[in-house]
Amino acid sequence: MVEVDLHLHTTYSDGTLTPRELVQSCADHGLKVIAISDHDSTEGLAEAVEAGGELGVKVISAIELSTDVPRSEIHMLGYFINPDDAQFQTVLSTFREGRRNRARNMVKKLNTIGVAITWTDVIQIAGEAAVGRPHIAQAIVDKGYVKHKKEAFDRYLGRNGVAYVERPRLKPSDAIRLLVDNGAAPVMAHPLYYEQDYSKLRSTISDLKEAGMVGIEVEYGEFSSPDRKLLASIADEFKLLHCGGSDYHASGNPGEAPLGSAGPTLETVAKLESMTKHKHVSSTQD
């Protein structure tokens, strides 16, 4: 177990714990510094920061944006974001609208192939969250079509699934620009999810470093130790910070990396913070 976990999701995106429940669990696991990185939403941050203040956990305001590349996507994390940036919030709300439209179209596709879930099922599960495929997956599980959400992805919702629908996304360099303009530090999430060809991955990372990215996830919950060594050498080659976290969603999927299973050093957190404009961190320990 580690002291720092910089990749966590709450009920404001596709996690199943509320911000307060998640921060409580982090405190119980002995975590000292965490980042809440919901997809396209900052709505959970205030509650998490408040809970962190009470429980002695330093909470960094973060976000995870999905960006578009040919035949794939790259997730860009932003650390020390300023949630009070109106322009930034306008962009996030257009992404959330795109998520709703996409989810409606996915429900329609599912219905045509005999998977009888409704839009109401999905929004009841999503509640206040930015709607994501995991909410649709939960509706499919609840109706008994599959046992785990992961199976719903394999059969229906994954990029090669029969009910997959695209949604509007930024290019990675534009997401980096959006984050830098906000004053945040952009970091590539789970770099080994996108590209089997490591020389292509290295060239993408090199381009994104040029665009303003400051780190990549090296210590990532689902990555093996040889994978982490490979990513550490790529990070060193391009002078990028070794970031990371568990990407915990409390998803219920078998084999999900537990909370606090991976994360960077406190020294890396300090470097990350020194690269940001706003110093948006809240805690009892400041």
Q: How far apart are CA 93 and CA 83, in angstroms?
A: 12
| Binding segment toward ligand AMP, per CB under 6 A, in 81-89, 127-135, 138-146, 213-221 | 127-135
Under 8 Å between Cβ of 80 and 184 = yes
Instruction: Write out the two tokens for 232.
Output: 């550490």
Q: Based on the shown chain and the rule CB under 6 A, indicate whether residue 44 belongs to the binding site for ligand AMP.
A: no
Nearer to ligand AMP, 65 or 234 (CB): 65
Phi and psi based region of residue 165 (left: phi greater than 0; alpha: psi -120 to 50; beta: remaining): beta
- Give the number of residues in contact with Fe ion, rule: CB under 5 A: 4
Binding of ligand AMP at residue 150 (CB under 6 A)?
yes
Asked if 189 touches Fe ion (CB under 5 A), the answer is: yes
Chosen residue from 253, 265, 282, 283 binding ligand AMP by CB under 6 A: 253
Q: For the chain, what's the residue count?
A: 286
Shorter beta-carbon distance to Fe ion: residue 64 or 121: 64
Cβ nearer to ligand AMP, comparing 61 with 66: 66
Please state whether beta strands 215-220 and 33-36 pair in parallel, antiparallel, or not at all (unpaired). Answer: unpaired
Distance CA 219, CA 261 (A): 9
**Cα within 13 Å of Cα(72), Cβ side:** 12
Report 157-196 residues binding ligand AMP (CB under 6 A): 158
CA distance 8 to 28: 15
Which range of residues in 64-72, 113-121, 161-169, 202-210 is near Fe ion by CB under 5 A?
64-72
Residue showing tokens 């300023």: 82
SS3 call for 173: helix
Cα–Cα–Cα angle for 157, 161, 163, rounded to 5 degrees: 65
Among the listed residues 19, 134, 186, 244, the single contact to ligand AMP using CB under 6 A: 134
Instruction: Give CA–CA dist 156/30, Å, rounded.
Output: 38
Residue 28 phi, psi dihedral angles, 5° rounding: -60, -30
Number of residues near Zn ion (by CB under 5 A): 1
Which segment (45-53, 54-62, 145-153, 230-238) binds ligand AMP by CB under 6 A? Answer: 145-153
Is 47 a binding residue for Zn ion by CB under 5 A? The answer is: no
Q: Check residue 145 for interaction with ligand AMP (CB under 6 A).
A: no
- Binders of ligand AMP among residues 48 to 107 (CB under 6 A) are 66
- Restricted to residues 19-48, the positions that interact with Fe ion (CB under 5 A) are none
- Please give the residue ranges that form the binding site for ligand AMP (CB under 6 A): 14, 39, 66, 132-134, 149-150, 153, 158, 249, 253
Residue ranges binding Zn ion (CB under 5 A): 14
